[in-house]
């Protein structure tokens, strides 16, 4: 009996120790009227009050939207939220630079004073839309910051007047390209998260929490559309916005790749010019050396009757320079015939490509036109 009693006491002590080291969440609670309350609570106490399990508050995914026991658990990277039909919980809200959104925008949106489309729908619709809207606006802000920087850097790098590439510009382009890749990854994960829900009708219905708490609210809206369909339209709306942002980021990526090709063509063109100049100087040196043998023959200190004639110096000098010039011109013409690019084949008018669409931004069109014209000119020079 003493052994069993000791084992029982040890088990209670270990459980008490584990409970004492349980993580503590800094929680911000927002109700339907937008009233906020702040408190700290241990993880064990929080998931017991919400009727969840410990793994539900683990937040092991960078981005996820799931339902557990009539609760919606959302994570948008650093943003952790639990949505119920009556209130919204933001976990670990400190040190996330979310004060402006939490205190100035989110509370008013949940109270129906913001620009949310779902203000007339149940509370969980407003909470989901507010979080998705914040995340889309954050992604849009990142794209708006990167786009002018990338376009400005590319416009400076593809300048045909530059004989070399500015390394500082390349460093900036490398950093912006890395940030663009991170943005494309975040957009892809966001779209996949929403698409997983859109592909399952049961998941969409589970997001409508009011269906299980108050079935009368879930009958039909004033527009005659079921709330499950409105949830689907809500998710599709933000999926389409993410898709538009992904298309813009993809256009920037293609523009960077095209500009890199133009930069390499530009550098190759200048390199070919220097090689051609070097070859011309080599041929000129060869021509002068060839007819310089005449001067060498007269400088061997051998006596002849020619050195007594005062006109022979100018005659030999003239022959040397004239012969060198003729040989140099012949070599240049030979070089030109072999390096001249062939004529392009005739393309029928029916097979010509149409002009690009006129709906793109003016700055992108200018940059693409400039790079296209540069590539044609440099290829012709080569």
pLDDT at residue 271, as a whole number = 78
Handedness of CA 253, 255, 257, 263 (dihedral sign): negative
pLDDT at residue 10, as a whole number = 46
Give the residue extent of every domain in the chain. 24-266
User: Would you mind telling me the total number of residues written for the chain in this entry?
Assistant: 382
- Triad 115, 117, 80: Cα angle to 5°: 80
Consecutive 10-residue averages of pLDDT for the chain (382 residues):
46 49 81 86 86 81 85 87 90 74 81 73 88 92 92 77 67 88 92 91 85 58 66 92 94 86 73 79 76 70 68 78 79 66 48 41 51 44 44
Rounded to the nearest 10 degrees, what angle do helices 227-298 and 123-157 cross at? Answer: 10
pLDDT at residue 287, as a whole number = 74
Handedness of CA 207, 211, 217, 223 (dihedral sign): positive
Phi, psi of 25 (to 5 degrees): -100, 135
Q: 41: part of which helix (H) or strand (E)?
A: strand 36-42
Task: Tell me the CA distances in angstroms from 246 to 139, 208, 239, 250, one per residue in order.
Answer: 10, 28, 10, 6
User: SS3 for 38?
Assistant: strand
pLDDT at residue 372, as a whole number = 44
How far is the C-alpha of 291 from the C-alpha of 318, rounded, in Å?
10
User: What CATH number does the domain located at 24-266 have?
Assistant: 1.20.58.340
Task: Tell me the CA distances in angstroms from 59 to 1, 55, 66, one per residue in order.
Answer: 43, 8, 11
pLDDT in tens, 100-128: 788 778 888 887 776 777 777 888 888 89
pLDDT at residue 380, as a whole number = 44
């Amino acid at each position: 009996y003493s052994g069993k009693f000791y084992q029982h006491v040890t088990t209670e002590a270990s459980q008490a120790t584990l409970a004492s080291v349980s993580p503590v969440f800094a929680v911000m609670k927002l109700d339907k009227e937008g009233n906020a309350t702040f408190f700290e609570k241990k993880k064990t106490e929080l998931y017991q009050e919400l009727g969840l399990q410990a793994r539900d508050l683990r937040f092991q995914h960078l981005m996820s939207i799931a339902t557990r026991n009539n609760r919606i658990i959302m994570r948008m990277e650093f943003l952790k939220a639990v949505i119920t039909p009556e209130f919204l919980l933001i976990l670990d809200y400190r040190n996330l630079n979310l004060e402006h959104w939490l205190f100035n925008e989110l509370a008013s949106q949940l109270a129906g004073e913001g620009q949310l489309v779902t203000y007339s729908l149940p509370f969980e619709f407003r909470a989901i839309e507010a979080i998705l809207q914040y995340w889309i606006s954050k992604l849009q802000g990142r794209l708006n910051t990167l786009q002018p920087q990338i376009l400005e850097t590319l416009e400076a790098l593809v300048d045909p007047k530059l004989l070399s590439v500015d390394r500082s510009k390349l460093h900036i382009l490398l950093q912006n390209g890395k940030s663009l890749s991170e943005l494309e990854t975040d957009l892809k994960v966001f779209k996949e998260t929403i698409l997983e829900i859109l592909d399952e009708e049961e998941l969409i219905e589970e997001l409508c929490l009011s269906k299980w708490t108050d079935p009368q609210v879930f009958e039909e809206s004033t527009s005659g559309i079921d709330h499950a369909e409105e949830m689907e339209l809500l998710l599709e709306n933000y999926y389409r916005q993410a898709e538009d942002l992904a298309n813009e980021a993809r256009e920037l990526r293609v523009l960077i790749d095209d500009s890199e090709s133009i930069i390499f063509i530009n550098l190759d063109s200048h390199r070919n010019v220097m090689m051609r100049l070097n070859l011309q100087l080599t041929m000129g040196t060869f021509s002068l050396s060839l007819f310089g043998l005449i001067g060498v023959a007269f400088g061997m200190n051998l006596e002849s009757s020619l050195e007594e004639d005062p006109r022979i110096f100018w005659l030999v000098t003239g022959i040397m320079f004239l012969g060198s010039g003729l040989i140099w011109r012949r070599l240049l013409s030979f070089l030109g015939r072999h390096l001249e690019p062939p004529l392009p084949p005739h393309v029928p008018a029916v097979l010509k490509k149409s002009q690009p669409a006129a709906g793109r931004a003016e700055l992108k069109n200018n940059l693409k036109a400039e790079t296209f014209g540069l590539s044609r000119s440099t290829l012709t020079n080569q």
